[in-house]
Amino acid sequence: MDTPWGVDSEYGRLLDVLLCPPDNFRWLPTSAISRKTLDSGLVFSREDALRQHAEMASVYEEAGVRVHLLEADPALPYQVFARDSSINVPDGPIVTQCAQWWRRGEYAHVIRFYREAGIPIREMVTAGSFEGGDFMIVEPGVAAIGTGEERTQEQAARQVAGWLEADGWEVRVERIPPHFLHIDVLACMLGEKLAAVCVEQASNGFVAWLREKGVEIVPVTLAAALKLGVNGVALGGDRVLSTAESQELNDRLRALGLTVYDPELSAFTLGGGGAHCLMQAIRRERVG
């Protein structure tokens, strides 16, 4: 393997992705988004979830990405959102610690996966809860960590920031509105110097910081963001995996000349997570 495990960006060509089968997924009141869905009277369909997840996995495979799967645990209904149980940096994975009781045990399967795959674990978060949806690499050596306290606690964010800062990184710990759950509901890197951002809810300081880095911002409305409208995945080579539900974002990305794959993922977006939430990039081509 020429490219080592780990990533140094959110946009280098994606080579290996970690997913979790949705066998045990169901909607739970985990966030403002899923609570609204449950209150609406909509009924969860396991068949839709299985079909939509399989369609998403086929997009990765057709894009030349090798798909790896976590072992699905019946005790972990939100394990399908593989973004949160670990993050990846240039020298490999950091195992996180999910906040809610129905997610706390996810660390066990992700540790087992990395060990069985022969991927050395760099660190494990111990200072508090930290979820992978709150970690965003802006460019090599620069990252943002979201903390709304509901999921990622500031002391855990500072622990991870400290590890990276010791390696020479610049890390911004950004307080986000709690109803956004994770920073990847507020902002996502979708290409080199390109991010989708809910500008009307992001802090002025955060938006200015991104622009100082030369990042072009694709604005997404609050209504769209709360339907996971920024939550896409850069596949590399000007390709983005989004969802059929994120029509506003998809149109703007296509207008910029990007190729957008948009499988239906409504079973998951209604439950509080989009394409970015459903994956963990475990190997990308290096860009730094």
Which option is the CATH number for 14-284: 3.75.10.10, 3.30.565.10, 3.40.50.1110, 3.40.50.2300?
3.75.10.10
Q: What is the pLDDT of residue 288?
A: 87
Nearest-angstrom CA–CA distance, 217 and 198: 9
Q: Give all strands (DSSP E) within the chain, no chain letters.
A: 14-19, 66-69, 86-89, 92-95, 123-124, 135-139, 142-147, 170-175, 187-191, 194-197, 216-219, 233-234, 239-241, 259-261, 280-284
Per-residue pLDDT at 204? 97
Helix (H) or strand (E) holding 247: helix 247-255
pLDDT score for 224: 94
Q: How many angstroms from the chain centroid is the CA of residue 286?
A: 19
Task: Please name the residue ranges forming H helices in 95-182.
Answer: 106-116, 154-165
Q: Is 179:192 a contact under the CB 8 Å cutoff? A: no
Provide block-wise average pLDDT over 10 residues at a time, the chain (288 residues). 92 98 95 89 95 98 98 98 98 97 96 98 98 98 93 97 98 94 96 97 98 98 94 97 95 97 97 96 96
Look at residue 1 in the predicted model and tell me its pLDDT: 57
| pLDDT at residue 221, rounded to an integer | 96
What is the C-alpha end-to-end distance of the chain, expressed in Å?
A: 18
**How confident is the model at residue 30, as a pLDDT?**
86
Q: What is the pLDDT of residue 178?
A: 86
The angle formed by the CA atoms of residues 124, 122 and 180, to the nearest 5 degrees, is 55
